[in-house]
């Protein structure tokens, strides 16, 4: 599993806990000097996170000043002092925060440039920034407790530094913001080609997880420099039309199953699935239009599959294995199979979650691909004004940008309605991250989306209430912004790392 920002925070808490265990007032002078230097390093890295990613000068200033005071050390330190467990744990906590800041930095380029991933929109969200400030404040206050316990505060400079770290600004920042979204931020690294598709049967949960990984890879690739040719744009449109066709058929089967399980009453889950099916079918028609617009304009010939095409192909295969009655299905003629019966796809309502979640992530991933290709093709056609079929291509790619948020909201609602109570919190966080990664709407509908998210959140506790269902007609005007420029309580700390 990929390392996340939360993993590094947990490491810092663990090492602060270790420092507490080895702290006592009788530390030698050499150990004290090394420990103070480690405290200086930690506070400097906390201040860097505040300045670079939260832009909160009122909080960064006292931390910076505390770090400056802790640099007034002087004296010789022995190798034994440097190896003391107290100093080692403090340095390790500082290293964890340094790595955490470096991880956030991988999602950004220079000021004013485009972000390097859609996780930049998560990091820049106001509530996520508040969550970062809360983490910084909590660690600063914990560091004060460690220094008090170890007797480091005998000199005036360290006492003043501790007073700054206890400032009202830091105390007010503690325990606020969206900590779960912050903790989920991963390292931004180039996606690798996917592993070969297994030749044996996989469970729906395994297939769904692989589709989600592939969709994340597609999104990441869209933020990296790539040179695409007309052949590759055409190939992308073909793969996307296959994926959206499979997704629409999967949702149709789930809708049928929903009414098989509830034949005598109107059901919110069935309505949400039907809403999503309609928009996914629309997206399928648009991708087919793009594919047809390229027809006759690209010379036939061999094409080496790019990393993007490999992920698109495998997404299609894994979605197809959720739908077709062949555990090793591929689009190849020899692997064709009939559709699974609705009851085979989802014996119960809960069994609808893996397929619906896979469709949601694949649909969101294709929205990012569509926006990247729309921009790239528009630039290419602007340069090559003599391109045969230019007007048809422009019209097809413009259609590809039609609003799709209604499908994502409907799919999100269906996931929460179908999920058992014990999974709804986790699934809600997944849905919220997708919304944050999409960025802000361009048409001023941010307040509408926020209201829809609040109602989705309400489904976690009221999924059986028919009146809690979203009015998706009001959200159909919302636009997706695939290339971006409700507060949850923070997760419990590790028992050994929480210092108060």
Express each pLDDT in 203-259 by its tens digit. 999 999 999 999 999 999 999 888 788 889 999 999 999 999 999 999 999 999 999
Mean pLDDT of 414-434: 93
Express each pLDDT in 96-114 by its tens digit.
Answer: 999 999 999 999 987 666 7
- Model pLDDT, residue 482: 36
What band does 76 get if pLDDT is binned at 50, 70 and 90? low
- Model pLDDT, residue 354: 97
Same domain? For 150 and 222 the reply is no
Given a cut of 60, is residue 59 above it in pLDDT? Answer: yes
Same domain? For 308 and 243 the reply is yes
CA–centroid distance for 442 within its chain = 20
With contact defined as beta carbons under 8 Å apart, do 401 and 374 qualify?
yes
Same domain? For 278 and 317 the reply is yes
- Model pLDDT, residue 367: 94
Same domain? For 470 and 422 the reply is yes
Residue 65, Cβ density class (10 Å: 0-12 exposed, 13-18 middle, ≥19 buried)? middle
Residue 396, in any domain of the structure:
yes
Residue 495, in any domain of the structure:
no
Residue 22, in any domain of the structure:
yes
Same domain? For 297 and 221 the reply is yes
Same domain? For 287 and 336 the reply is yes
Express each pLDDT in 261-275 by its tens digit.
Answer: 988 666 899 999 999
3-state class (DSSP) for residue 472: helix
CA–CA separation, 168 vs 371, rounded Å?
45
CA–CA separation, 359 vs 284, rounded Å?
13
Mark which of 130, 151, 183 sits at the end of a domain. 183
Same domain? For 164 and 96 the reply is yes
First vs last C-alpha separation in the chain: 31
Domain carrying residue 141: 5-183
Same domain? For 56 and 169 the reply is yes
Given a cut of 60, is residue 494 above it in pLDDT? Answer: no
- Model pLDDT, residue 443: 40
Given a cut of 90, is residue 360 above it in pLDDT? Answer: yes
Residue 489, in any domain of the structure:
no
Please state whether 110 falls in left (phi above 0), alpha (psi between -120 and 50) or beta: beta
As for how many domains the chain has, the answer is 2
Given a cut of 80, is residue 485 above it in pLDDT? Answer: no
Q: What is the pTM of this model?
A: 0.86
Same domain? For 159 and 235 the reply is no
Q: Enumerate long-range contacts of 225-231, CB under 8 Å, 24 or more apart.
A: 226/306, 226/308, 228/306, 228/373, 228/376, 230/294, 230/297, 230/298, 231/298, 231/299, 231/301, 231/303
Same domain? For 135 and 250 the reply is no
3-state class (DSSP) for residue 186: strand
Same domain? For 322 and 442 the reply is yes
- Model pLDDT, residue 486: 33
Give ∠ CA 139-140-141 in degrees, rounded to 5: 90
Given a cut of 60, is residue 469 above it in pLDDT? Answer: no
Express each pLDDT in 276-297 by its tens digit.
Answer: 999 999 999 999 999 999 988 8
Q: What is the mean pLDDT of the chain?
A: 85
Residue 433, in any domain of the structure:
yes
Given a cut of 90, is residue 451 above it in pLDDT? Answer: no
Same domain? For 51 and 164 the reply is yes
Residue 482, in any domain of the structure:
no
Given a cut of 60, is residue 73 above it in pLDDT? Answer: no
Residue 54, in any domain of the structure:
yes
Residue 490, in any domain of the structure:
no
């Amino acid at each position: 599993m990929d390392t996340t920002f939360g993993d590094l925070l947990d490491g810092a808490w663990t090492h602060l806990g270790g420092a507490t265990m080895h702290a006592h007032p009788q530390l030698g002078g050499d150990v004290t000097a090394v420990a103070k230097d480690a405290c200086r390093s930690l506070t400097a890295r906390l201040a860097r996170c505040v300045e670079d990613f939260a832009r909160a000068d009122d909080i960064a200033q006292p931390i910076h000043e505390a770090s400056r005071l802790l640099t007034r050390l002087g004296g010789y330190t022995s190798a034994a002092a440097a190896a003391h467990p107290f100093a080692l744990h403090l340095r390790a906590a500082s290293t964890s925060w340094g790595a955490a800041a470096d991880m956030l930095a991988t999602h950004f380029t220079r000021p004013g440039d485009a972000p390097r991933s859609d996780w930049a929109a998560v990091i820049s969200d106001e509530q996520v920034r508040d969550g970062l400030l809360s983490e910084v404040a909590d660690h600063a206050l914990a560091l004060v407790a460690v220094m008090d316990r170890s007797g480091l505060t005998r000199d005036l400079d360290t006492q003043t530094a501790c007073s700054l770290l206890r400032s009202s600004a830091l105390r007010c920042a503690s325990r606020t913001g969206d900590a779960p979204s912050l903790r989920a931020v991963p390292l931004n690294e180039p996606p690798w080609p996917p592993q070969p598709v297994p030749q044996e049967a996989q469970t729906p949960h395994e297939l769904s997880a692989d589709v989600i990984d592939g969709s994340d890879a597609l999104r990441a690739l869209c933020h990296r420099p790539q040179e695409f040719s007309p052949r590759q744009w055409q190939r992308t449109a073909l793969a996307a039309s296959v994926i959206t066709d499979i997704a629409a058929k999967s949702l149709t089967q789930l809708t049928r199953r929903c009414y098989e399980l509830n034949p005598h009453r109107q059901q919110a889950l069935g309505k949400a699935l039907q809403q999503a099916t309609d928009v996914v079918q629309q997206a399928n028609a648009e991708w087919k239009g793009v594919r047809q617009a390229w027809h006759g304009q690209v010379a036939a010939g061999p094409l080496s599959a790019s990393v993007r095409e490999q992920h698109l192909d495998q997404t299609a295969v894994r979605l197809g294995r959720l739908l077709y009655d062949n555990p090793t299905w591929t689009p190849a003629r020899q692997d064709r199979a009939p559709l699974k019966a609705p009851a085979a796809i989802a014996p119960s309502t809960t069994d609808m979650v893996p397929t619906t979640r896979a469709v949601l992530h694949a649909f969101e991933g294709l929205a990012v691909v569509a926006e990247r290709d729309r921009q790239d093709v528009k630039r290419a056609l602007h340069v090559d004004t003599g391109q045969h079929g230019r007007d048809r291509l422009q019209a097809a790619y413009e259609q590809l940008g039609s609003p799709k948020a209604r499908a994502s909201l409907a799919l999100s609602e269906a996931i929460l309605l179908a999920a058992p109570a014990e999974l709804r919190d986790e699934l809600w966080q997944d849905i919220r991250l997708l919304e944050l990664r999409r960025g802000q709407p361009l048409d001023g509908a941010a307040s509408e989306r926020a209201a829809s998210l609040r109602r989705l959140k309400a489904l976690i506790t009221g999924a059986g209430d028919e009146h809690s269902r979203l009015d998706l007609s009001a959200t159909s005007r919302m636009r997706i912004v695939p290339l971006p420029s409700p507060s949850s309580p923070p997760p419990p700390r590790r028992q050994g790392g929480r210092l108060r």
